[in-house]
Amino acid sequence: MSVSLASIQEAAAGLLGVAVRTELVSLPELSEQAGVPVHLKLESQQPTGAFKTRGAWTAVRRLAPEQRARGVITYSSGNHGQAVAFAAHRLGLRAVIVMPETAPGTKVDGVKRWGGEVVFAGRTSEDRHRRAMELASSEGLTVIPPFDHPDVVSGQATVAVEILEQLPEVEWVAAPVGGGGLAAGIAAALAALKPAARLATVEPEGSAALAAALQAGRVVRLDRTASIADGLLPLSVGKLNFAILRGRAEPVLVSEEAIAEATRWLNVEQHLVVEPSGAVTTAAVRSGAFRPTGPTVLVVSGGNADPAVLARLTAAAGRP
């Protein structure tokens, strides 16, 4: 199954009045360091604080009336859960969100703010997937997967549509990777609209499921994942997403130290609210792990930062 340009364009039309056409901002220090123009795509400006609004709304909107009537369920570390709750709230539907026991309070509160019912299940993506499937079966709910679904990917692809409209000369787009829905959407849109543009896929060193899959030539299940970038911890990337990304993704890995430094720099020095998962693309440039060769857009995927994590990073940076 692929994601067509027609599906992406329909998703873009369906997001009018729902998602924000997020800003591109230039930080001179980043451009100077990279030696090429660098812009940030601030998906933190979305109603739910992350790009996930695009895919969740598209998937829920495209459901048949009888599926909507039964209500929806998803499994999420936080941002997709908030987005599904947001979409369901706008459409007057029931939404159940299965989250890890370790989910940041900020993201749990975000789900509840949009009327989502929170259920906690384990610590891994597999734990919450299993629980969501049980509840979907017992309560007749329709599952909205967080990343491995063509409607979700089509919605996320609209990020790249906007980038190409805002900066037609872009040569590189860098995107964070968890399950790969955002990166796959960007890859599909670039392939259709500007094949010469290149895609850097950025992952934490401790959660590099896409890099492992690209090296193996197939989807790989990691034994464990660990990072302060809590939105990028799936044990494997989606099969659909891998099929799209294979041959287009150029993997970049960033250290925990680099993620922490970039998160602190963006929040404290640049006054941008960015969570660690959204800061990995900036970390890739600031650490030198990613060296773009032309005009570049770094996707800042979300701004739902845990205040305790930001305080800890800021305090650590201030120690001698």
Verify that 111 and 80 share a domain, yes or no. yes
Whether residue 189 is predicted with pLDDT greater than 60 in this model: the reply is yes
Tens of pLDDT, residues 107-127: 899 999 999 999 999 888 889
The confidence score (pLDDT) of residue 2 equals 78
pLDDT tier at 320 (50, 70, 90 boundaries)?
very low
Verify that 31 and 114 share a domain, yes or no. no
The confidence score (pLDDT) of residue 317 equals 62
- Beta carbons within 8 Å of 229's beta carbon, 6+ residues apart: 176, 204, 207, 259, 275, 276, 277, 279, 280
pTM of the predicted structure, to 2 decimals: 0.94
The confidence score (pLDDT) of residue 126 equals 86
Verify that 229 and 271 share a domain, yes or no. yes
Verify that 81 and 32 share a domain, yes or no. no
Task: Report the CATH number that the domain containing residue 167 is assigned in CATH.
Answer: 3.40.50.1100
pLDDT tier at 33 (50, 70, 90 boundaries)?
very high
Verify that 170 and 249 share a domain, yes or no. yes
Mean pLDDT of 73-100: 94
Mean pLDDT of 204-217: 97
Where a domain ends, among 143, 170, 200? 143
Verify that 47 and 83 share a domain, yes or no. no
Verify that 183 and 227 share a domain, yes or no. yes
Integer angstrom CA distances of residue 276 from 47, 180, 241, 248:
19, 17, 22, 25
Tens of pLDDT, residues 123-150: 888 899 999 999 999 999 999 999 999 9
Where a domain ends, among 143, 161, 178? 143
Verify that 296 and 195 share a domain, yes or no. yes
Verify that 214 and 297 share a domain, yes or no. yes
Verify that 175 and 268 share a domain, yes or no. yes
Mean pLDDT of 147-163: 97
Verify that 298 and 275 share a domain, yes or no. yes
Verify that 131 and 207 share a domain, yes or no. no
Residue ranges making up the domain that contains 202: 5-51+149-318
The number of folded domains in the chain is 2
